[in-house]
A and B are shown apart, each in its own frame.
Chain A
Amino acid sequence: MTLSRKTAAPIIAQSDGTLLLDERLPGFGEAQALLRAIAELQKRPGHLHTYRITPVTVWNAAASGWTAARALGSLRALSRYGVPASLERDLAAQFARYGQLRLGVQDGELRLLAKEPALLAAVAALKAVSGWLRLSADGGYAVVRPDARGWLKRELALAGYPVIDDAGYRSGEPLPLALRSSGALPGLRDYQQAAVDALLGKEGGTVLAATAASPAPAVAGGSGVVVLPCGAGKTWVGIGAIARLACETLILTPNTMSVTQWIRELRRATTLGDDQIGAYTGERKEVRPVTVATYQVLSSRGGERGSNAHWPLFQDRNWGLIIYDEVHLLPAPVFRLTAELQATRRLGLTATLVREDGREGDVFALVGPKAYEAPWKSLEEAGWIAEASCSEVRVPLEPGCAERYADAPARARSRIAGENPRKAEVVRALLARHEGEQALVIGQYLDQLRRVSRELGLPLVTGDMAHGERQALFDRFNRGELRALALSKVANFAVDLPDAAVAVQISGSFGSRQEEAQRLGRILRPKANGGGASFYSLVSEHTDEVEYARRRQQFLVQQGYRYEVRRWAEDGSEADLPAANGPR
């Protein structure tokens, strides 16, 4: 592969489907447009961006009108070392596969149709799906069990056979509403609009015939996931989709704080009345045209024989759309239920598709493919999220603490390092440095948070705090009456504190990349004064916390963020790490 090199071509195409894009070379813009169409961005930690072509990305490209010849022609022209033969072959094969199988409704039946009868027979013989299909006498189509629509698509996609789902979605119960648009509410930003369009198409839903699978008239369009950085207004994408579809909607969120925020935003941004918006949580069970529920309540078991008492919420109402907020947190029981709800449109919202449990594939199969993603740095450059500087501050362990750390078993060490008492003085100094800016101090361990809260006189918000009390503190913070808050992991998601400009992370959940991203997200809302945001991660020096921090930062580094690493000196000053003088 050392030959036929086009020195200035910006793409390196590999036989495993990864594509590296060099942003320093001419042709970057053209190449980026190509790769966005046929591949997905995996990371952009420096000037080399990594994309990956998968069957799904190719099928998505085919669905958008790309052909194999056009994609390959462009890729060849822009690839430094040419296109490996195997990649060419795979690309052509995946383009050819798209459109071979189609789900549709004929004579009131949900049917699987194929361009080639032989393909239909081959597919029907697959063990994973054969139980859901009944081949017609002439072999021209296969009748699909209505409740298997989601599973069938998932299994066939896994087997390499994409299915175009023309069976449509139920339109749901109509719900007239409109977006409010005023000076304070300027409507959807361009990327939010683009996300809605990517999901639903520009025209919105085309009404199809009623079927046994979806008794109400069905609409075309898609389900999928929208990936936007924290602070970029994912809620607005959801609200935009509701407004476009004008149908009853179920919104699932990770916690009650988030439920409250969704309801507040829906009231603020749409013409829906209070009686049209309900909260379905542990405390309240309101089922209204737009209902906001928590994953937790839907996952809790309470019915007979362990069945879920709250699942009728999904089925008993004619929802036209289900929104999964923070879809990367979707618990397994809700996944299972989602598989059976394929006639209902689904929208997943997240800041990162990284799942610490590695189940990214299930999100794709059951909620939908990624429909839209805006890279963090792109939105930062456009001013839609605040420019953030990230610092890791290495804090020496307090002497007694260092001894305990050294003697502790491995499993106890991370907590000792996380709770290093010297971190409190660093927090104090950082808050002083950012005087005049609103700040959040976020931690993992309640004892540590209480101590810091006590020492620095900061109000503390934890999961145990009553919802109303918590909201009251947030409201005071948002009004500028409080300069700083200490927060437990409740701050990981859905805490809307738009003016917070400084976050000090004093401890975290091991190496969670997703938590790091979410916490940074707390301060990314653009500031009224146009200022930036400062994120500090305090890490106990020479402990396991250093490696955990490195792992935690990985996602953000791959998004293009840089961490400056400083050392908190014994005299309380901050300095560069000491020069390397060889191992000690």
Chain B
Amino acid sequence: MKTREIVGELPEGALAWQREGPWTAGRLAQGRSLAEVLADPSRAAEWAESAPPFARDTLALIVKRFGPAPFPEEKLATEGGRPPFGWTGAELRLAVQLLRRDGIVFAMDRPWGDRLLLVPSDMCAAWRRLLLPLRARPLPEEAWMDGCDAAAAPLSHELIAAWSAIRRTGLPLTAKGAPRKQDAAKLASAMRLAPEDIPPLAMPPAWEALPASAVLALRLGSALGMLKRRGRAISAEPNEAAKAWLALPASEAELRLLEQAAHCLLSAAAPESGAWLAAESLRDLAPMRWYSAAEIAKALPTKEAAGAAEAWVRFLRAAGWMETGSGAEGAALRWIIEPNPERLWVSADGYDRYELMPDLEAIVPPEVPPGARWELELLARRLSEDVVAVYRLDADACRRAFAGGTSLEQARFALERGSGAPLPGAVDIALRDWFHAAPAHSAGQSAPLTEAAAQLSGAPQQEAHAKQPEAGDDERHNERYDGRHMESQDDPHSEAPADDIFGCAEAAERTGAPEQARAWDARPPMLSRKLYPGAEGVPPGWLRQPAAYHASTRKEIIERAIGWRSGLRLCKDGAWMDFAPERVVPAERGGWRVWGRPFVREAGSGKPVLAENPIALEAAEIGQIMISLPDSEFGVDCRPIT
């Protein structure tokens, strides 16, 4: 779930304390909404810089182990108890409270009592980039030449074509609410994306037998707002969000599509699979540089992610976003789009326009926004799709567009805007011929196409009559593709949730909980000693500084620390150590001993982490001792230096 969706569902009580949090109050005062503030990636960097290390590491652990999937809190405790995590359970619990306070982690209670935590999917990606960057070195450019796989055109091009086909004919649904098998098969057969290249999709049962590529096209269309359900059919009617996507520069539109595809395909994957982490981590790689696949596997944060990367790369390659090859350095891969929003750079050098040629062909460079392709699909026939797409203006297509209500002026306007130049004479003449030749009585009467054609135009119908664009109107030629002009006024139903075409099952699947059962935790985070039951009752000295105690008191201190899952600072044989106690057991010769893990310096980073193997400390070996309890109230980081 994205931040905006969560904020939209939060109870008023939760919203109240969220608004007053130290990371939100100031920003809200600048006039931004809570959702905007919480979903702002620049806030992430700032937070990470000043957050207590135990909170930062806890967030990294959450992102690494669960990604954006909801997870039970106790599972986090289990993960945190494993090396090489560097903090105790007490610190981890406090970290969760801090993360909730700061609007990074959200909690929901399920009816049967357990509690789930989650990081919103949009911000989870930002946290991953910040806290778990993939460090890999590209291969030298000259090292790579042979054995490269062909790159397909980016997925957006294929989807635009698929959605355009739906725009022309609609897609009827069966009584069970799924497309007919033959229609889905037809949709899939026109796509290059093979079902075996697509990770498993979670689907309502009626959809399960359909080709995965068709389902993905529909699901992405739905998620982006390009498709909607109208009674017993799916139609292509871009809503406001889709119009915004259509108007994006091509590179940004492709990136958004990648994100949406990852969301659709990976939200269903079990967090343990590492699929989300692999997909996100790969986005750190620089585009157009070859990387050794083996090196990438080593550099991924978990071995599960390394295992999952192969399948995701297969999908990326099929989607035309990545190339793979094999050469002297072994298997290698490279991005051919910019996968990282932070590096995204959009030029304004004019290549975002297509070239209309006098032989009636449109040469469409990769930088052309999807909206222009969407328009061309209505007026022209696609001849080829490679680095550039080639469309040919076509009498049949134009007549069809006209039958659907598109006027000659609208068509001319769209083509002049898309190409950024006056129409070549031959094109202008051809359009006039084709639009004039269309039977006049058919204008606007073809029910299935009327809405579709209205989507085409740069100029809405009324506007076309009011102000006829003229050749040489530079202002018009320089106008970018703009969602404002793209569609006719949406009807009130167009803003229905994108998931409409699938029903509610998808939404439930995405959050891991049935929608009606989702209850966000409105209780404010607990950031005081109350987080540790009985803390007020223990002698303050136990928490303040190490001291020598009687063996029975030492045992009591240790048992209290175990209860709180906190750490101990103690002196053994004259040396100080930090120790996470796990259990106290009787010793063979009477007395007791405590099992636990000492904190050790991690090789490389030098950070204190729990040791791999537990050790036992005899009661007599323990000298001065104190409980290391994190104390967020004072901003004190209690992690001692061993």
Contacts and interface: CB of A to CB of B under 8 A. Distances in A.
Interface of A: 1-5, 7, 12-16, 18, 20, 43, 45-48, 81-82, 84-86, 88-89, 92, 542, 546-547, 550, 553-554, 557-558, 562-565, 577, 580, 582-584
A2 B287 CA distance: 10
Given A2-B250, A85-B323, A557-B359, A577 B408 contact: no
Interface in B389-433: 395, 402, 407-409, 412, 424-426, 428-433
Interface in B412-458: 412, 424-426, 428-433, 435-438, 440, 443
Contacts of A3: 251, 287-288, 335-338
Q: Which 9 residue pairs are nearest across A and B when measured between Cβ atoms?
A: A85-B148, A86-B150, A14-B386, A45-B359, A4-B288, A2-B251, A46-B357, A1-B366, A14-B387
Residue among A2, A13, A48, A546 with max Cβ neighbours from chain B (10 Å): A2
A505 to B, nearest CB: 17
A126 to B, nearest CB: 26
B237 interface: no
A577 B426 CA distance: 12
Contact of A2 (B338, B428, B430): B338
Nearest to B464: A582
B363 interface: yes
Interface in B321-379: 323, 325, 335-338, 347, 349, 351, 355, 357-361, 363, 365-367
B12 interface: no
Interface string B148-183: 111101100000000000000000000000000000
Nearest to A14: B386
B146 interface: yes
B359 A565 contact: no
A89 B148 contact: yes
13 contacts: A12-B388, A20-B363, A20-B388, A43-B359, A45-B357, A45-B359, A84-B151, A85-B325, A553-B426, A563-B425, A577-B429, A582-B407, A583-B402
Contacts of A563: 425-426
A542 B436 contact: yes
Given A81-B366, A557-B359, A577-B429, 10 more contacts: A2-B367, A15-B386, A46-B355, A85-B149, A85-B150, A547-B433, A558-B359, A565-B429, A580-B431, A583-B402
Given A16-B384, A86-B148, A46 B358 contact: yes
B96 to A, nearest CB: 40
Contact of A542 (B146, B359, B426, B437): B437
Contacts of B336: 1, 3
Given A2-B254, A85-B325, A580 B432 contact: yes
Nearest to A87: B150
Contacts of A542: 436-437
Contacts of A1: 151, 153-154, 336-337, 366, 387
Contacts of A48: 355, 357, 363
B386 A92 contact: no
A88 B387 contact: no
Given A48-B355, A82-B288, A584 B440 contact: yes
Contacts of A15: 150-151, 386-387
Contacts of B355: 46-48
Given A557-B426, A584-B436, A85 B151 contact: yes
Nearest to B250: A2
Contacts of A7: 347, 349, 351
A563 B428 CA distance: 12
A33 B122 CA distance: 50
B268 to A, nearest CB: 29
A455 B632 CA distance: 106
B408 A583 contact: yes
A39 B377 CA distance: 30
A554 B359 contact: yes
Nearest to A93: B146
A240 B554 CA distance: 111
B407 A89 contact: no
A16 to B, nearest CB: 5
Interface in B572-593: none
A580 B151 contact: no
Contacts of A565: 425-426, 429
B154 A583 contact: no
Given A15-B387, A84-B387, A550 B430 contact: yes
Contacts of B437: 542
Nearest to B402: A583
Contact of B146 (A84, A89, A583): A89
B147 interface: yes
B436 A89 contact: no
A67 to B, nearest CB: 14
B145 interface: yes
A92 B408 CA distance: 48
Nearest to B412: A580
B343 to A, nearest CB: 10
A583 B435 contact: yes
B146 to A, nearest CB: 7
Residue among B146, B251, B407, B426 with max Cβ neighbours from chain A (10 Å): B426
A263 to B, nearest CB: 39
A92 B338 CA distance: 28
B457 to A, nearest CB: 13
B149 A86 contact: yes
Contact of B150 (A82, A84, A577, A584): A84
A557 to B, nearest CB: 5
Nearest to A72: B145
A547 B432 CA distance: 12
Contact of B386 (A16, A88, A89, A583): A16
Nearest to A561: B358
B30 to A, nearest CB: 34
A140 to B, nearest CB: 30
Contacts of A20: 363, 388
B617 to A, nearest CB: 57
B424 A13 contact: no
Contacts of B424: 46
Nearest to B151: A84
Given A2-B338, A86-B149, A583-B435, A18 B386 contact: yes
A92 B145 CA distance: 10
A363 to B, nearest CB: 23
Contact of A14 (B149, B388, B407, B409): B388
A539 to B, nearest CB: 10
Given A15-B386, A46-B424, A2 B359 contact: no
Given A2-B250, A46-B424, A84-B387, A546 B433 contact: yes
Contact of B351 (A5, A86, A92): A5
Contacts of B349: 7
A582 B150 contact: no
Residue among B151, B387, B409 with max Cβ neighbours from chain A (10 Å): B387
A236 to B, nearest CB: 31
Contacts of B443: 583
A567 B126 CA distance: 62
B425 A562 contact: yes
B407 A45 contact: no
Contacts of A47: 355
